[in-house]
Amino acid sequence: MSAGRARRHLWPVPAGEGEAEALLALVARGDREAFAALYDLVAPTVVGIARRVVRDPHQADEVAQEVLLEVWRRAPSFDPAKGTSRTWVATIAHRRAVDRVRSEQSERDRRGRDAERHTTADPDPVAGSVIGDAERDEVAAALGQLTDLQRQTIELAYYGGYTYSQVADILDLPLGTVKTRIRDGMIRLRDALEVTA
């Protein structure tokens, strides 16, 4: 099914996309200069994800530092067949940010706060990004195409760092509804962004 779906980029491939691939290939061979250049390309995303999910800026920057070092350490294991280097970096960053918030004592408090204001849990998740570019606008537009439930569940899971059962608690929805809304929403997001794996 997915093989038959046409994929085309409706906007130019961001500059640096191919550059990041080339740099990561060099980094995988231990090239520290290439890593410095790759840092400049991906650090804004790593710091952005860490701050969005962890929230406390001090802890977030600690997580970002760990993630960037992990990019260096694990570069030899990167498999281009499984996705782009930027997706790979974002995956590590999000995973580590989530690890941090789930290991925290304050998790319960965070959750309480979001439950209180869940209708406006993250009204504009991309507001506050200082690097305003086409990417940011594309994502905001794509999120705007989702239903309210799809958008809320995805935002709480991704930007809030919650498990789907916590999302269900916060929004007072059945677990099954949350699972299917997240998946349907991600499929719609993928199509809206014309994402290729």
Partner 1 sequence: MSEHTTPDPHTLVGPYVLDALPDDERVLFEDHLSRCPECRAEEAELRAAAGHLGRATAVAPPAALRDQVLAAVEVTRQQPPGAPWSTTRRRAWPVVLATAATIAAVVALGALLLQADHRADRAEQIAAVVAAPDARTVPIAGEGGSMRLVVSSAHGSAVLLAEGMAAPPPGKTYALWYQREGRMVPAGLFEPGGDGAVRQRVEGVPPDVVGVTVEPDGGSDEPTLPIIATGTA
Minimum distance of partner 1 from residue 112's CB (angstroms)? 19
Minimum distance of partner 1 from residue 134's CB (angstroms)? 10
Of 24, 54, 152, 161, the one binding partner 1 (CB under 8 A) is: 161
Give me 176's structure tokens: 């099954």
Nearest CA to 169 out of 120, 116, 127 is that of 116
55 vs 41: CA distance, rounded Å:
22
Of 43, 115, 149, 173, the one binding partner 1 (CB under 8 A) is: 43
Confirm if 50 and 63 have CB atoms less than 8 A apart: yes
Report how many residues bind partner 1 under the rule CB under 8 A: 88
Minimum distance of partner 1 from residue 145's CB (angstroms)? 12
Location of structure tokens 């899971």 = 157
**CA angle at residue 15 from 14 to 19, to 5 degrees?**
120
Binding of residue 195 to partner 1 (CB under 8 A): yes
Binding of residue 167 to partner 1 (CB under 8 A): yes
Closer to partner 1 by Cβ: residue 110 or 190: 190
Of 32, 120, 144, 172, the one binding partner 1 (CB under 8 A) is: 32
Binding of residue 173 to partner 1 (CB under 8 A): no
DSSP 30-57: T-HHHHHHHHHHHHHHHHHHHHHHH--H
Minimum distance of partner 1 from residue 123's CB (angstroms)? 14
Q: Which of residues 59-88 bind partner 1 (CB under 8 A)?
A: 61, 64-66, 68-70, 72-77, 82-84, 86-87
Confirm if 34 and 23 have CB atoms less than 8 A apart: yes
Length of the chain: 197
14 vs 29: CA distance, rounded Å:
25
Q: Which of residues 120-139 bind partner 1 (CB under 8 A)?
A: 125-126, 128-131, 133, 135-136, 138-139
